[in-house]
Chain A
Amino acid sequence: MTVLDSRVPDGPLESKWEDHKFDMKLVNPNNKRRFEIIIVGTGLAGASAAATLGELGYKVKVFTYHDSARRAHSIAAQGGINAAKNYHGDGDSVFRLFYDTVKGGDYRSREANVHRLAEVSNSIIDQCVAQGVPFAREYGGLLDNRSFGGAQVSRTFYARGQTGQQLLLGAYQALSRQVKEGNVELITKSEMLELVVVDGKAAGIVVRDLVTGEITRHSAHATVLATGGYANAFFLSTMAMASNVTAAWRAHRKGAFFANPSFTQIHPTAIPSSDEFQSKLTLMSESLRNDGRIWVPEDPDESRHPADIPEEERDYYLERRYPAFGNLAPRDISSRAAKVVVDEGKGVGPLKNGVYLDFADVMERLGHDAVADKYGNLFEMYERITGEDPYEVPMRIYPAPHYTMGGLWVDYHLQTTIPGLFSIGESNFSDHGANRLGASALMQGLADGYFVLPYTIGDYLAPMLGQPKVETSAPEFDQAEQDVQARIEKYLNTNGTRSVDWFHRELGKLLWDYCGMERTKEGLEKALSEIPALRAEFERDVRVLGSAESLNSSLEKVGRVADFFELAELMCKDALVREESCGGHFRAEHQTDDGEAQRDDENFAHVTAWEWTGDPGDPTEHREQLDFEYVTLTQRSYK
């Protein structure tokens, strides 16, 4: 076990980033053209980084497996984006946003990174507004804010229920401008399948064209992964169908450490699954919790229409357990509380797998029209999916995997343990600790892409001036391409009996049951014995039809699921060694008397970063100690 160096600069927290920006080496504007950068992914982080690096003058190649850079799953974020603008004078500040984020993450994030995130949050809003992002406004023409996800201040900027879409389109448009100007080459429908490392540094990637099946090699002075999170390991999640861990996992197998894989966020307000054919879960914006009241019937055998159940026979369990925060309690707490009542048999709906989110009170208070104005599109969406009208019948919600705080370990420069390989946005582990606050994912993606990476990557590149990039004819590229080809051929020739989805679904069930909202030593050990067995069956019995020379979505999926299998083991292993509960990681053995997460700051105030050893069941553990100089560690209390 080694202790990792996070390269956090010295100096007071408030000025670390400003001072460090001065200390970092610069690349002369005329020399930027001489550096090539590969970016994988065109979500908020990838698109914003590609656009900004292109504007600065670097030669950028950006890859996406989508047919357009506008489709990454950042687009599905509904609620909003935080910034410490304090436009409403309600006491917000950079320090408060920083503090809330560290606390919300249950003290498992790096102070310096989070403070930097809070600092640049304001510039993000400025940038997006200048791009033409149509944020919600007040009648006076100034920007509107709302309180979101349990924050005590109104700091969330939003664009109807489509904030992620609008921010992504802003970044995509900025990227499109650079594509047009020839600074950025955009390669769509192409998936990164291998990272190439030469002399210990990232040298480039191997990519498969999803339409023609052609395998190509790309080299650059630096490579940036902006490939999102891995919640699809659970099969059923709120992620897009194609979201996967492959790019990050390939990098992990080449030496990039993977940090805190067990830190996954289970979002409290998704629509419960309706049948076994369900392919994904749909999130209902957390903003609904501002006005909706969450409850279940007291009686597990309740069969009446929800409106007919009298008040005294309802259990508003969040309001009861957390009087101060009530229905706005943080995501991890709300999710687990829902699990508790459903496990008690009080779940609602045909499969008894949900809780009510009831708008009757607010309808009475504000009237139908006001509610429709605020939540109309969400209500419509709910009705489309379930066939039930939330104006009449309470919504049914249940937690679903939604975001992954874990990811590739990066230092303060967002560089992984492989020099020249950077990781930004959800694909890294950096800013959210053990639990992410609402409206902070968009903030982090854009902070990394617009305002952090463009500085730190220059510091890496500057000393390399005059050095050519590695030729793609290098033996390491040969080997990487051979490995990719071999994997493809192996799966096409396995000729088993079961589809890729079948295995993915089975893997997802194991992870959800044993490494989901509540984890136990026993369960994790069970998962750690069952996952390898299922993986062996997968390798032997999976059936992938068609050829490698044309569009073949089964072939795309099989590689992704294979990587999920290896990741799943690491998630369980990570959850097993972290003998405490914190944020989204809840170990049943470590809870307070009233069932809250019990941290162990003495032994676990660290990041666990795993090194690949060649055996997915036996990774090497490394640690980065977390020191808290500015935040006082307390037991989170939302009562």
Chain B
Amino acid sequence: MNLTLRVWRQAGPDAPGRFETYEAKGISEDSSFLEMLDTVNEELVAEGEEPIEFMHDCREGICGTCGLMINGRAHGPELGTATCQLHMRTYSDGDELVIEPFRAAGFPIIKDLVVGRSAFDRIIEAGGYVTVDTGSAPDANLTPVPKETADLAMDAAACIGCGACVAACPNGAAQLFTSAKISQLNVLPQGQPERYQRTLGMVEVMEEHFGSCTNMGECEAACPKGISIDFIAMMNKDYRKATFAGRKAG
């Protein structure tokens, strides 16, 4: 199939950006979206033009590196699918695709379609862990965890940190990402001792970088792992309790 692409090109973080139009010719419908971009890049290199920079690595939907805004949707039209797992059979011959980088203050553009997402790491550093030095752990079966709890934690833990939630959110908010990690640890027995400290710390850093939640649910729809906004509500509850507990502790 043949497609027309309008791709955001931007030489560097401070350079002005613009859309460039490219023709993607002879694309197989079994190609992935990123392989389609590979093909376009091969053409560009042959013509002596710098290839389009985009984020990608594992190409199997788990590393969370990839992420594009395709025709106004983070990761494109397929629900529960990262950009790398989007396949061209979704499109028809002659379609026009507008490809933009994820945009948010917390995700500065580095080049073309590549953005920096280190703000996510700052959020994790603010408490997205259990304090347990290597070698100090008790036997793994010492504390039983109900299957439902373990499953709920896993639902939250499935987050790949791609940032589509922020990209899709009309407010540029990172509630889904943050609440997923908070909830994973806060529902498990291992996470209890640091539960409130974690919640306060991570929310504070989140709000330094990102917007606020207006409960639109666009993040959930964009999430390649289908993470539920229920976790946002759980975070809100823990935050209130944590603030209250903080007052008592003082």
B51 in contact (CB, < 8 A): yes
B161/A70 in contact, CB under 8 A: yes
Give the contacts of B59-91 with A (CB-CB under 8 A).
59-65, 78, 80-81, 85, 87, 89
9 smallest A-B Cβ distances: which pairs?
A: A141-B144, A130-B137, A173-B129, A274-B30, A134-B153, A129-B140, A126-B137, A134-B154, A180-B125
B124 in contact (CB, < 8 A): yes
B110: chain A residues at CB < 8 Å are: 211, 551
A174: chain B residues at CB < 8 Å are: 129, 132, 134
A179 in contact (CB, < 8 A): yes
Complex: how many Å from CA A580 to CA B216? 63
Q: Within the complex, which residue of B34, B137, B153 is in contact with A279, where a contact is CB–CB below 8 Å?
A: B34
Complex: how many Å from CA A275 to CA B36? 12
B105 in contact (CB, < 8 A): no
Complex: how many Å from CA A136 to CA B185? 15
B81: chain A residues at CB < 8 Å are: 384
Q: Within the complex, which residue of A127, A211, A277, A381 is in contact with B134, where a contact is CB–CB below 8 Å?
A: A127
Q: A71-B63, A380-B80, A501-B42 are in contact. List 7 more A-B contacts (CB 8 A).
A: A55-B133, A67-B65, A131-B190, A499-B46, A545-B51, A546-B50, A554-B51
A238: chain B residues at CB < 8 Å are: 60
Chain B, residue nearest A280 (CB): B59
**Could you write out 30 A-B pairs with CB less than 8 Å apart?**
A66-B57, A66-B65, A67-B116, A69-B121, A70-B64, A71-B64, A126-B137, A127-B137, A130-B130, A130-B138, A131-B137, A132-B129, A132-B191, A134-B150, A142-B144, A159-B157, A160-B154, A174-B134, A177-B125, A188-B118, A240-B59, A242-B57, A282-B60, A380-B80, A387-B87, A450-B134, A451-B134, A499-B42, A550-B111, A554-B45
Q: Within the complex, which residue of B61, B133, B158 is in contact with A381, where a contact is CB–CB below 8 Å?
A: B61
B48 in contact (CB, < 8 A): yes
A454: chain B residues at CB < 8 Å are: 134
B218 in contact (CB, < 8 A): no
Interface residues on B, range: 35 or more
Complex: how many Å from CA A412 to CA B84? 40
Give the contacts of B117-131 with A (CB-CB under 8 A).
117-118, 120-121, 124-126, 128-131
Complex: how many Å from CA A71 to CA B133? 22
- Which residues of A does B touch, CB under 8 Å? 48, 51-52, 55, 66-73, 75-76, 85, 87, 123, 125-143, 159-160, 162, 165-166, 169, 172-174, 176-177, 179-180, 186, 188, 211, 238, 240-242, 274-275, 277-280, 282-283, 380-381, 384-387, 450-451, 454, 499, 501-502, 543, 545-546, 550-554
A67: chain B residues at CB < 8 Å are: 55, 65, 116-118
B233 in contact (CB, < 8 A): no
Complex: how many Å from CA A387 to CA B144? 40
